[in-house]
Amino acid sequence: MRKKLMRVLIFLGLLLGMNSLTWAAVKYDLWVNNEQFADDKLTIPCGSGSAVFDPNTKVLTLNQAVITKGVDVGYGCGILSGLRSLRIVLRGENKISAPQAEGITNYGTTNCDIVVSGPGSLEIEALNSTDSYGIYSTGALSLVEGCSIAIRSFATGLHAFSGLYLDKVKVNIQVTGRITAGYYGMAVNKSGVFVDGDSEVTVHSSGSAICLGETADDQGSILQIKSGTVNLTSDTKYAVEGANTAGSEAELDMQAGKLTAAGPEQVTNLSKISLASGLVVTDGSMNGKSVVIEKKSTPSTEHSHTPVKDERTATAATCTSKGKEADTVCSVCGELIEKGRDIQIKPHKYTSSAVQYCEYGCKTVNPSYRKPATSTGIKVSDAVSAYQVDTTTADRILDVAERYQLSRDVFALSPQKLTALNNTDADVSGSSYVKLQARQSKAKTSSITIKWNKVSGADGYIVYANQCGKTRKLKMAATLTAGQTSYTQKKLKKGTYYKYIVAAYKQVGQAKVTLAASRTLHIATSGGSVGNPKSVKVQQIGKTKKKLSRYTLAKSGSAKIKAVQVQKDKRIKKHSSLRFESSNPAVASVDKKGVIKGMARGVCELYVFAQNGISTKIKVTVK
């Protein structure tokens, strides 16, 4: 099973690596039938049925689903979850077949819980490899509320690190693997297996039917049967196996119900076996081919019942399940006199909107929770103000801002802000030539074409334009897709200057969140008395006048760039001086006058660009 845990950790790394390349705020760490859920894909077809995910409640509903495809990034699992908690609701008859590994699993290292509830049924076939499990949970695993589960697997049927809970369910497990160690019907690392609610559990395994405390570090596991019928059969090993380590505290506790154990040996490595009658067996052994343990009251007409509360039958209410008061039994004969009343579920506990999950530990999300500020200081209120969205969408916008490390200046460049600017002949705060290199492509008498580089993660681009002039506000000229990196504006006046800003955006709900914005371009149409730069020429850097595409300076050293914008044929009406920008100011910075300063050892590039975006590049090495 340690090999199994290592494999989970390995594909956790693979998934996180993949997410760093393909991350999008709208996607969720949940895959079914080799498809990932996202905000625009909350229903996944599964045969003639479907799988539906509610991201607010973390509930996955299977409706007559037939899952036949394994998740590529999860070694062929039918359902793969990276969520801290997941509840699966079964509707009708559902089936998972042909997974290369688990039917259902999660890849968190600890405390990632799975709950499967009724009223429907689920059949899992996991027979395609020696590592095929039915359901594997790195936290607790609960099967509850009338669901029916049938598992045929090569390795373990049900495995949970932090307890396996069966309440009001029918479970049938068949494990066919013939390897002697590590193949069980049901296995837990700690806490134990708990059967209640008159559940019906049948396990037939080639290895041990139940393993309690699977590793040397996990002590204190228990098989506790509060009520119901449990039938355990092992072909080669034990019906109930405790951790095979010195000092193991694994126990069998029969409170009620019926246990049938069959195999070469019934139990091993148990420190104590407590039967309903009060008998305690300390040597942990039962000889013979089969043993039946059953609670039997011994009513007697020779005494009046003496009522007493049996606190062993009491359970505390939680925020996810009802509790139960203690049953009243006769202290003499043990007969049930009155069943304890149910205790209603208590409400989730949230002390403030700063608390993300219920404080009782059930992992339910606080409905009033608001994300804290990003590392660059952007808050939910900033997103609401800049993009005019509700707080739920603002939470998602903050995810984008954190993912792409947006500065406050860039984040503020919403479409509403860019189209409201008055003095738009100058560069806007937060714009960058390095990140979005917009430039002139063609200029004709009545049209101008601009182009730019692709921006990583962008869903599209918005082009803002107007005739040059400080009093002329920018207008949205076009909204383009991620694959479009050029734009032609037509029906323009000849011999006239026009200004442009291009913004790359990420779509979040109805909002277009700006990831990068270009410096302001000033481009003239042809046919008049003015024109555009055709190139930028560097004449000198410091005292150097040759080989000016490269330059080396010392840390803390400085040098000034002398450059000019070369006109094509007609004079250039100045809207902007030559501008300078460094690809890495931490290595070499450059000011608006073209003075370079070495900051730290390394290599970067300096761009010198004209008012129409035409540029030249200098490779700078700081020693």
End-to-end CA distance of the chain: 53
When mean pLDDT is compared over 9-23, 177-191, 297-311, the highest value belongs to 177-191
Residue 619, C-beta contacts closer than 8 angstroms, at least 6 positions apart? 549, 550, 551, 603, 604, 605
Structure tokens at 441: 């492509």
pLDDT (0 to 100) of residue 583 = 95
Poorest-confidence range of 272-281, 552-561, 567-576? Answer: 272-281
Could you write out the three-class secondary structure of 145-180?
CCCEEEEEECCCCEEECCCEEEECCEEEEEECCCCC
**pLDDT tens digits along 120-170:** 999 999 887 777 889 999 888 999 999 999 999 888 899 998 889 999 999
- How far, in Å, CA of 288 to CA of 219, rounded? 28
Q: Is the pLDDT of residue 274 over 70?
A: no
Model confidence at 595, pLDDT cuts 50, 70, 90, reads: very high
Q: Is the pLDDT of residue 175 over 60?
A: yes
- How far, in Å, CA of 441 to CA of 453, rounded? 12
Mean pLDDT of the chain: 84
pLDDT (0 to 100) of residue 261 = 79
Angle subtended at Cα 34 by Cα 30 and Cα 39, rounded to the nearest 5 degrees: 45
Structure tokens at 269: 């490595």
Nearest by Cα to 330 from 355, 360, 300, 358? 300
Q: Is the pLDDT of residue 295 over 60?
A: no
Place of tokens 């708990």: 194
**Amino acid identity, position 37:** F
Model confidence at 264, pLDDT cuts 50, 70, 90, reads: confident
As a whole number, mean pLDDT of residues 367-379 equals 78
pLDDT (0 to 100) of residue 127 = 81
- How far, in Å, CA of 569 to CA of 241, rounded? 91
Helix, strand, coil percentages, rounded to 5, for the chain: 10, 40, 50
301 three-class SS: coil
Q: What percent of the chain has pLDDT over 70?
A: 85
pLDDT (0 to 100) of residue 224 = 86
More confident residue, 6 or 69: 69
Q: What percent of the chain has pLDDT over 90?
A: 51
Place of tokens 């996955």: 60
41 three-class SS: strand
Residue 410, C-beta contacts closer than 8 angstroms, at least 6 positions apart? 430, 432, 514, 515, 516, 517
Model confidence at 290, pLDDT cuts 50, 70, 90, reads: very low
Exposure on the CB side of residue 588, measured as CA atoms within 13 A: 31
Q: Is the pLDDT of residue 65 over 90?
A: yes
Model confidence at 294, pLDDT cuts 50, 70, 90, reads: very low
pLDDT (0 to 100) of residue 289 = 34
Q: Is the pLDDT of residue 534 over 80?
A: yes
CB-based burial label for 458 (10 Å; 0-12, 13-18, 19+): buried
Number of helices followed by number of strands (H, E) in the chain = 5, 52
**Amino acid identity, position 66:** V
Structure tokens at 311: 């606190």
As a whole number, mean pLDDT of residues 388-413 equals 90
Q: Is the pLDDT of residue 192 over 50?
A: yes
**pLDDT tens digits along 69-80:** 888 765 688 999
CB-based burial label for 112 (10 Å; 0-12, 13-18, 19+): buried
pLDDT (0 to 100) of residue 276 = 42
DSSP 537: E
pLDDT (0 to 100) of residue 414 = 94
- How far, in Å, CA of 367 to CA of 36, rounded? 24
Q: Kind and range of the H or E element at 562?
A: strand 558-567
pLDDT (0 to 100) of residue 214 = 65
pLDDT (0 to 100) of residue 238 = 79
pLDDT (0 to 100) of residue 281 = 37
pLDDT (0 to 100) of residue 334 = 75
Residue 24, C-beta contacts closer than 8 angstroms, at least 6 positions apart? 38
**pLDDT tens digits along 450-498:** 999 999 999 999 999 999 998 899 999 999 999 999 999 999 999 999 9
Model confidence at 575, pLDDT cuts 50, 70, 90, reads: very high
Could you write out the three-class secondary structure of 351-363?
CCCCCCECCCCCC
More confident residue, 375 or 317: 317
pLDDT (0 to 100) of residue 3 = 43
Q: How far out from the chain centre does Cα 596 lie?
A: 43
Could you write out the three-class secondary structure of 102-143?
CCEEECCCCCCEEEEECCCEEEEEECCCCCCCCEEECCCEEE
Poorest-confidence range of 28-37, 219-228, 287-296, 311-320? Answer: 287-296
pLDDT (0 to 100) of residue 75 = 65
